[in-house]
C-alpha cells in the first residue's frame, strides 16, 4: 500500500462530504468518483501518479503532491495539506 506521509482532508462530491485520503489508492478512487466535471492537467497527472504509486511504480510522496495540485485546480475546499 502506498501510504501518504500525512493524510489529505477535503470536502468532496456534490454532497460535500469530508474525506480523509491516506494513500494513493484512496486518492485514485476520489479522482474517479465524484470529482468536479472541470478536469484540468493536474487531474490527469494525479490520476496517473496515484495509480502508479498504488502499483508500486511511483513515489507516494510525489503522488500526494500532484494530488494536492489537482485538489487546488478543482477548487474543492481543502481542510488540510
In a domain, 62, yes or no: yes
Radius of gyration of the chain (CA): 11
In a domain, 80, yes or no: no
Q: What is the pLDDT of residue 80?
A: 65
In a domain, 24, yes or no: yes
Q: What is the pLDDT of residue 81?
A: 58
DSSP 80: -
In a domain, 29, yes or no: yes
Query: What total of structural domains would you count in the chain?
Result: 1
Give pLDDT tens digits along the chain (81 positions).
789 999 999 987 777 788 899 999 999 999 998 888 889 999 999 999 999 999 999 999 999 999 999 999 998 777 765
Q: What is the pLDDT of residue 2?
A: 84
First CA to last CA across the chain, in angstroms? 20
Which residues form the domain of 23? 3-74
Q: What is the pLDDT of residue 38?
A: 81
Amino acid at each position: 500500500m502506498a501510504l501518504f506521509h500525512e493524510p489529505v482532508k477535503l470536502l468532496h462530491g456534490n454532497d460535500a462530504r469530508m474525506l480523509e485520503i491516506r494513500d494513493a489508492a484512496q486518492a485514485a478512487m476520489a479522482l474517479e468518483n465524484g470529482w468536479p466535471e472541470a478536469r484540468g492537467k493536474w487531474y490527469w497527472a494525479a490520476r496517473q501518479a496515484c495509480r502508479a504509486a498504488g502499483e508500486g511504480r511511483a513515489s507516494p510522496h510525489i503522488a500526494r503532491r500532484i494530488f494536492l495540485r489537482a485538489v487546488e485546480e478543482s477548487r474543492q475546499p481543502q481542510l488540510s495539506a
